[in-house]
Copies of this chain bind each other. A is one copy, B any other.
Amino acid sequence: MFQNKICLSSDNWSPAHPLVLKAVLEANEGYAAPYGADFWTEQATSLIQEVFRNPCKVFMIPAGTGANVFSLKLSCRPYQSVICTDIGHINFQESGAAEAIVGCKLLTVPHQEGKITTESVEKKLQAERAFGKHTTSPRVLSITQPTEIGTVYSLAELSSLSKLCKAEGLLFHIDGSRLYNAAIHLNVDLHEIVRAASPDILSLGGTKNGLMGAESVVIFNSHLYEGTDHLHKQTLQLLSKMRYLSAQYIPFFRDELWRTLARGANQKAQQIGAIIETIPELSLSYGVKTNQIFFTAPAAWIPLIQEKILCYVWDKEKNEIRFIASWNTSDQDIANLRSVLVEIRESVNTRQYNTVF
């Protein structure tokens, strides 16, 4: 087992926060209408609408890939396409679900530190549109905020992309499975991100920020409402006992638990980044902004790190490792991490010394 290792694999290795489980327990009271017509879903929906300060239709969703696929399915007809980065979760971590279930093409552009730029979108649009009916009709721009490598679009960048979408007749979708960590980094409220980005649809997370398992899709563009109740069911996202999913969101938004947990995770990531910066052999790939830390290490360090720390090698060729801090990463974890890295350094250097002589 991995009990003795420090777990920096991913925030979905973490347990749920006790207040979340408490809310689930409280929802276990008597009968409730199924399929989302219950009191808890109504409450969670209202809370989300209040948080974003915008009229919107909210759907509860069991997992993140489902949130993205449902978002794209309600936005796209099959001759249309979705622009995203090559490392976009919808393109690279969802097992071809968009193509298989939405039937649309994903038009990928190379990312710039995880982000998509207005220039690259414009260039892709031009290339795809040059061939008329022989190519697809671009319909959605989908970005991930924060990105898959922990970088964060500024409000200005979001505004620019949004403006581009309006000008080009694209719908704007944000995959916000860790949106909370971006808000903390930007030091803004969630509705300020939405005000800047003016997205048509948002995949809103929860599971990675201390819930048991709850995501949602928030539709801001009312022209997209039609058919969504059917699609929620048809894309396999509708739970019968929805109350147990929705209840998780209640303390999360009512008591601003999302903020406490995301802030905690971001702070721990800052501490981890600071430790890495003290070790000359390690090099942060990007500034640490959210709860994700990417850094490169000498090849010889990789197995030693993985022996003590649960984490992913993100890029084998570059010897790049990903750490993710979570709401429950402890001070002890941080202290242990420091010791482990220092020990590895010493052992490697001693070995090298011994090798030389």
Q: Report B-chain residues with C-beta under 8 Å of the C-beta of A108.
A: 108
Q: Which of A13-66 contact B (CB under 8 A)?
A: 13-16, 18, 21, 24-25, 28-35, 62-66
Q: List the B side residues contacting A93 at CB < 8 Å.
A: 131, 134-135
- Stoichiometry (number of copies): 4
For window 207-228 of chain A, which residues contact chain B by CB distance below 8 Å? 207-208, 212-213, 227
Contact of A16 among B12, B78, B241 (CB under 8 A): B241
A263 within 8 A of B: no
Question: Given that A63-B239, A69-B236, A99-B105 are known contacts, is A227 also in contact with B94, CB under 8 Å in the complex?
Answer: no
20 A–B contacts, CB within 8 A, in A order: A12-B34, A12-B240, A13-B31, A14-B31, A15-B28, A24-B212, A62-B62, A77-B77, A79-B95, A95-B234, A96-B103, A96-B234, A97-B233, A100-B103, A130-B316, A207-B240, A213-B239, A213-B240, A213-B244, A213-B245
Q: Which 8 A-B pairs have the closest CB atoms?
A: A79-B230, A12-B240, A96-B105, A7-B31, A78-B100, A133-B229, A66-B236, A96-B136
Chain A contacts to B: CB under 8 angstroms:
2-3, 7, 9-10, 12-16, 18, 21, 24-25, 28-35, 62-66, 69, 73, 77-81, 92-97, 99-101, 103-106, 108, 130-137, 207-208, 212-213, 227, 229-241, 244-245, 310, 316
